[in-house]
């Protein structure tokens, strides 16, 4: 990326980009910050659906999945680039980390209001799941990322409501036979 390419794409004189930004890294960093701000708007939309939406939780979860994945590909690509840039530019890491912490805290607040026992853990997982669905959408992989996100949200929400004893009991089922070949032959 060059100042010249950015100016041409924006339809402004070359001197404009170099006047406001001393380096191309500074320009790109600001663009990534703007993309992160657009993500906040997406989160606000999802939050409105989850909190203010009417109807059963199942329908609201579908609405949240739509709001998370409904933003423009440009906005979503900017978010992914912001994450990747933080890997290359250590000065961005604290900003990206703080952004993710704030987002998870917002989700956790809503989960706590709903009585979730594992609100913070589920919130971190929900944010991660949303980012994964975003990557699938951008990669145009052969999957239904909206359905996968909605189904994953349902399961995470349900799991967040379980007590520690219930989690332990349910996970104990997973301690059964591990020889898949023999269980398929007998099942």
CATH number (domain holding residue 68): 1.10.357
Identify whether 81 is part of a domain: yes
Is 24 inside a domain boundary? no
Mean pLDDT across 28-56: 67
Whole-structure pTM value: 0.71
pLDDT at 187: 46
In a domain, 8, yes or no: no
What pLDDT, in 10s, does the model give residues 107-163?
888 888 888 999 999 999 998 998 899 889 888 888 888 889 889 988 998 999 999
The more confident residue out of 153 and 35 is 153
Alpha-carbon span 77 to 17, nearest angstrom: 22
Judged against a pLDDT cut of 60, whether residue 186 lies above it is answered with no
Our count of domains for the chain comes to 1
Kindly state the DSSP code that residue 187 receives in the 8-state scheme: -
The two structure tokens encoding residue 101: 């912490």
State the Cα torsion 30-32-38-42 to the nearest 10°: -160
Report d(CA 158, CA 22) in Å as an integer: 50
Kindly tell me the burial class for residue 32, based on how many C-beta atoms sit within 10 Å of its own C-beta (0-12, 13-18, 19 or more). Answer: buried
Specify if 125 maps to a domain: yes
- Domain of 157? 32-163
Residues 58-102 have pLDDT tens digits of 667 777 777 777 677 777 887 788 888 888 888 888 888 888 888
Cα radius of gyration rounded to whole Å, the chain: 21
Question: What 8-state DSSP symbol labels residue 118?
Answer: T
Cα distance between residue 129 and residue 61, in whole Å:
13
**Is residue 121 one of the residues assigned to a domain?**
yes
Q: Per the domain annotation, does 131 fall within a domain?
A: yes
Instruction: With a cut of 50, say whether residue 175 has pLDDT above it.
Output: yes
């Amino acid at each position: 990326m060059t100042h010249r390419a950015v100016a041409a794409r924006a339809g402004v004189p070359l001197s404009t980009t170099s006047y406001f930004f001393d380096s191309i890294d500074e320009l790109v960093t600001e663009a990534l910050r703007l993309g992160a701000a657009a993500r906040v708007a997406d989160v606000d939309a999802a939050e409105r659906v989850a909190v203010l939406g009417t109807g059963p939780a199942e329908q609201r979860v579908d609405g949240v999945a739509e709001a998370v994945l409904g933003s423009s590909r440009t906005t979503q690509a900017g978010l992914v680039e912001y994450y990747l840039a933080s890997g290359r530019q250590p000065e961005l890491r604290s900003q990206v980390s703080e952004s993710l912490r704030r987002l998870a805290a917002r989700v956790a607040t809503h989960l706590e209001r709903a009585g979730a026992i594992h609100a913070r853990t589920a919130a971190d997982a929900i944010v991660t799941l949303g980012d994964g669905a975003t990557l699938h959408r951008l990669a145009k992989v052969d999957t239904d990322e909206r359905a996968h996100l909605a189904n994953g949200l349902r399961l995470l929400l349900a799991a967040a409501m379980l007590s520690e004893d219930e989690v332990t009991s349910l996970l104990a089922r997973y301690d059964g036979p591990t020889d898949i070949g023999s269980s398929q032959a007998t099942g």
